[in-house]
Amino acid sequence: MASTNQLTSECVEDKKDPEWALARQGINLFINNSPVESEALFLQHSNSLIMHSGYSFAVFMDALMSFEEEKLSKAITVLKEVERRCTTQNGWFKSISQKVFGSSNNTDVGQSLVDQLETQIILADSQVCLAIITFLQQDISGYFRGGWVLRKAWKVYQKTYKEILILYKEKIGESELPDPITTPVTSADEDDSLEWVVPDQQQDINNGYPATSTSKKLSHSRSLNFNQNHSAEPQVPIVDRPKSLRLKKSISVIESLNLRRKVGLLGSARFNLFSFTSALSLSTLSLKDILPGQRHIDPQITDKKTIKRLMGAISFGYGLFQLGVSLLPPSLTKIINLLGFTANRQHGIACLKYARLGVDMRAPLASLALLWYHTIVRPFYAIDGVNVQAGVKSATALIQESQKEYGSSALFLFFSGRANRLNSDIQGALLSFQKANDNANHREVKTLCQHEIGWCHLIELNYAEAKSTFLYLRQASRWSSSFYMYLSAICIGAIADYGNYLIFDELQKNNGNSRIGHQLDEFLARRLHCCPRDGESGKSFSTTYYKLLIFEMLYLWNALASCTRDNIRSIIRDCDRIDNEPRRGLSNLILGSCYNLENDLTRAEGYFRQVLIQRKSELTNAEDAHISAFAQYELGNILIQNPNTKEEGKAQLQGVCRYSNYDFEARLNVRIHSVLRQLD
């Protein structure tokens, strides 16, 4: 049997199966419910850095889906090994030294330049994955460590993109990119003028790469700034360039090669590294500068397909980075800015759209990232307000385009169910989730599908079916047993299932097992104060009392908008006849939200104002302060739609900051921050 080294060597020599194509096969196996076969393929080529990087992606996703300590530790180990291999003498630094001090083989420079760029992308990707796992530790030190790792990844992404962009401009077309910046960037320009340029997102039928007839603008840091001015005449680069375009402590491979040519001291032991930094800019570097004097340049470096593949690869990590950071609450955004990077959500999405049309292993991952954003992030953060269908069209198009390759994938079926659910097609959603559950090989994916099935029943107000599903999840879930116990209990109360009322005894006993500082456990601890002390006393509460607790869950998870009009009217009838509500103002908050969905803004405004009147004497940090905060947010959101009340609405939104320590505070702050930015 051939050794691993021989197999890897044959893979490289045989152009039909390059390493990046094998890595794509491995990721496809993982996504298509074959994790064992995927791992076997990756480990068969473990000496290949690209294959080991693909393996790290698979291990990372496996860890996130299971969230088991053993798998998280394995992911950290594999990712750190990728990082080590990128930065050892056999990887990055060896490649740099070859380029700075010369190589006896001219073709080695062209070959190793592609390897260098690929290695830098792999390094940044691994650092982002490590940062995500670090953030999941949910402690202060984890946030700081994760932030520092993200900063390192950001630096690598920025430098690598600049290098790939130079190649792209030279070999695929200068006219397809905007003209260089003509004025330095100031802090006031930062949000609107920073643009990161990638080709059009249309796919070239001939080679499977995105076509490049036009260009799209994507966010990037100050080191990559271009003017939006597209002139037919060539622009003369200015002399006084922004400081961020000048090198500080380190130089990239391309800049090293350019410096080597300009200094002319290839064999000298002494040269001034910083004498020529002002000459290095995106407007002046060309492929000839990168590879001076090369008569026999490796075809790989001049191959448009390779350059486009690299552009797609860097776009994935950069886009995911931008998207993830953009979702942080404003309080953390300030810390992120101090670390030296910013994020633009729309630019991150555009990067992922470009990356998904590529041919390497990151393309399907980019599709999954976009589906996650459109079907989970957008409705959960209420990015589009009550219009939870806003991302359905994009998600459906992604799923349809991926049908041939990933039609049986449990992950794609799961997102298909999410799209159906957001579109109020609950029966279609149930079919997709059940099929995903049947196809899944991961225990946690099955649990996730059952979770969605339970919520579908809840959206249908089918409390009996929801109860059965949540009771099952209470036993099956390793991490959220208390959460599913609470959902089961309020469903049992909503149908007066007295035979199962002992669950309220268990719910109160379980209160002492809450994890301090864990948001979901704190949420549940506050809800227990609204629940009966035991099963016997629970019988004295009306079914509408428990239903109101269910409606609160639907509201907070932004699932009310997925209810049919008939179900919305049923919720309104229940809230109208409530005689004893769990929290003061809760029924009016739900009524206002329902009328808002019915587009009866006058009634909705009245109910939200009534909530604020009811709760005027309540503390701003009360454990149920979320009712006041959300009512004020909803009121402000309605008022800003009318020019006559726009200023009052803005004041209402800004005034929400007086509430603190309430449920979903960070998520509401993200929503308010987004609305206020649009107003400004």
3-state secondary structure 449-472: HHHHHHHHHHHCCCHHHHHHHHHH
**Per-residue confidence (pLDDT) for residue 263, from 0 to 100:** 40
The region, left, alpha or beta by phi > 0 then psi within -120 to 50, assigned to residue 273 is: alpha
Angle, CA 332 vertex, CA 326 and CA 335 arms, to 5°: 105
Residue that the structure tokens 């959603």 belong to? 429
Q: What is the mean pLDDT of residues 116-140?
A: 83
Among 66, 57, 38, smallest CA distance to 477 is for 66
Percent of residues, the chain, with pLDDT higher than 70: 72
pTM, 2 dp? 0.77
User: Lowest mean pLDDT: which of 282-286, 338-342, 624-628?
Assistant: 282-286
Q: What is the DSSP string of 427-453?
A: HHHHHHHHHHHHH--SHHHHHHHHHHH
Q: Is the pLDDT of residue 637 over 50?
A: yes
**Per-residue confidence (pLDDT) for residue 514, from 0 to 100:** 56
3-state secondary structure 196-233: EEEECCCECCCCCCECCCCEEEECCCCCCCECCCCCCC
Whether residue 76 contacts residue 130, with contact meaning beta carbons closer than 8 Å, is answered with yes
**Per-residue confidence (pLDDT) for residue 99, from 0 to 100:** 53
H or E element that contains 505:
helix 503-509
Q: Is the pLDDT of residue 71 over 80?
A: yes
Axis crossing angle, helix 410-422 with helix 392-401, rounded to the nearest 10? 150
Which tokens is 675 given? 């609305």
* Residues listed for the chain: 680
Report the amino acid identity of residue 176: E
**pLDDT band at residue 397 using 50, 70 and 90 as cut-offs:** very high
**pLDDT band at residue 131 using 50, 70 and 90 as cut-offs:** confident
**pLDDT band at residue 223 using 50, 70 and 90 as cut-offs:** very low
Among 388, 457, 391, 382, smallest CA distance to 426 is for 457
**CATH class of the structural domain 583-680:** mainly alpha
Q: Is the pLDDT of residue 211 over 70?
A: no
Q: Is the pLDDT of residue 255 over 60?
A: no
pLDDT tens-digit map of 605-622: 999 999 999 999 999 999
Average pLDDT across the chain, whole number = 78
- Computed from CA positions of residues 243, 239, 214, 188, in that sequence, does the dihedral angle turn out positive or negative? positive
**Per-residue confidence (pLDDT) for residue 90, from 0 to 100:** 42
Q: What is the mean pLDDT of residues 504-517?
A: 73
**Per-residue confidence (pLDDT) for residue 594, from 0 to 100:** 98
**Per-residue confidence (pLDDT) for residue 679, from 0 to 100:** 86
User: Lowest mean pLDDT: which of 169-173, 210-214, 271-275, 541-545?
Assistant: 271-275
Among 331, 400, 323, 399, smallest CA distance to 368 is for 399
Q: What is the mean pLDDT of residues 218-241?
A: 36
**Per-residue confidence (pLDDT) for residue 398, from 0 to 100:** 96
Whether residue 452 contacts residue 559, with contact meaning beta carbons closer than 8 Å, is answered with no
pLDDT tens-digit map of 533-581: 999 999 999 999 999 999 999 999 999 999 999 999 999 999 998 888 9
Q: Which residue has the higher pLDDT, 453 or 266?
A: 453
User: Lowest mean pLDDT: which of 192-196, 255-259, 542-546?
Assistant: 192-196
Q: Is the pLDDT of residue 204 over 80?
A: no
Rounded distance, CA 304 to CA 310, Å? Answer: 10
**Per-residue confidence (pLDDT) for residue 382, from 0 to 100:** 80
pLDDT tens-digit map of 74-110: 999 999 999 999 987 444 455 555 555 454 444 444 4
Among 493, 446, 432, smallest CA distance to 467 is for 493
**Per-residue confidence (pLDDT) for residue 252, from 0 to 100:** 45
Q: What is the mean pLDDT of residues 478-496?
A: 93
Q: Is the pLDDT of residue 242 over 80?
A: no
**pLDDT band at residue 326 using 50, 70 and 90 as cut-offs:** confident
Q: What is the DSSP string of 563-599?
A: S-HHHHHHHHHHHHT-SS-SSTTHHHHHHHHHHHHTT
Q: What is the mean pLDDT of residues 306-317?
A: 90
**pLDDT band at residue 258 using 50, 70 and 90 as cut-offs:** very low
Q: What is the mean pLDDT of residues 402-411?
A: 96
203 bridge partner residues:
210
Rounded distance, CA 469 to CA 476, Å? Answer: 10
Q: What is the mean pLDDT of residues 104-126?
A: 74
Whole-Å CA distances, 496 to 499, 524, 544 = 9, 21, 10
- Domain ranges in the chain are 88-363, 583-680
**Per-residue confidence (pLDDT) for residue 16, from 0 to 100:** 57
User: What is the SS3 assignment for 283?
Assistant: coil
Rounded distance, CA 126 to CA 57, Å? Answer: 8
Q: Which residue has the higher pLDDT, 596 or 350?
A: 596
Q: What is the mean pLDDT of residues 29-57?
A: 95
Q: What is the mean pLDDT of residues 180-186?
A: 26
**Per-residue confidence (pLDDT) for residue 346, from 0 to 100:** 86
**Per-residue confidence (pLDDT) for residue 446, from 0 to 100:** 93
User: Lowest mean pLDDT: which of 35-49, 139-153, 637-651?
Assistant: 139-153
| Cα Rg of the chain, angstroms | 28
Rounded distance, CA 16 to CA 356, Å? Answer: 22
* Residue 455 CB neighbour total at 10 angstroms: 23
**CA-CA-CA-CA torsion for 470, 473, 474, 475, nearest 10 degrees?**
140
Percent of residues, the chain, with pLDDT higher than 90: 49
Q: Is the pLDDT of residue 644 over 60?
A: yes
pLDDT tens-digit map of 413-454: 999 999 999 999 999 999 999 999 999 988 889 999 999 999
**Per-residue confidence (pLDDT) for residue 149, from 0 to 100:** 81
**Per-residue confidence (pLDDT) for residue 95, from 0 to 100:** 52
**pLDDT band at residue 198 using 50, 70 and 90 as cut-offs:** very low
φ, ψ of residue 595 to 5 degrees: the values are -70, -30
**Per-residue confidence (pLDDT) for residue 109, from 0 to 100:** 46
The region, left, alpha or beta by phi > 0 then psi within -120 to 50, assigned to residue 203 is: beta
**pLDDT band at residue 328 using 50, 70 and 90 as cut-offs:** confident
Q: What is the mean pLDDT of residues 472-484?
A: 89
Rounded distance, CA 464 to CA 363, Å? Answer: 41
Rounded distance, CA 25 to CA 48, Å? Answer: 15
Q: Is the pLDDT of residue 583 over 70?
A: yes
Cα 16–chain centre separation: 33
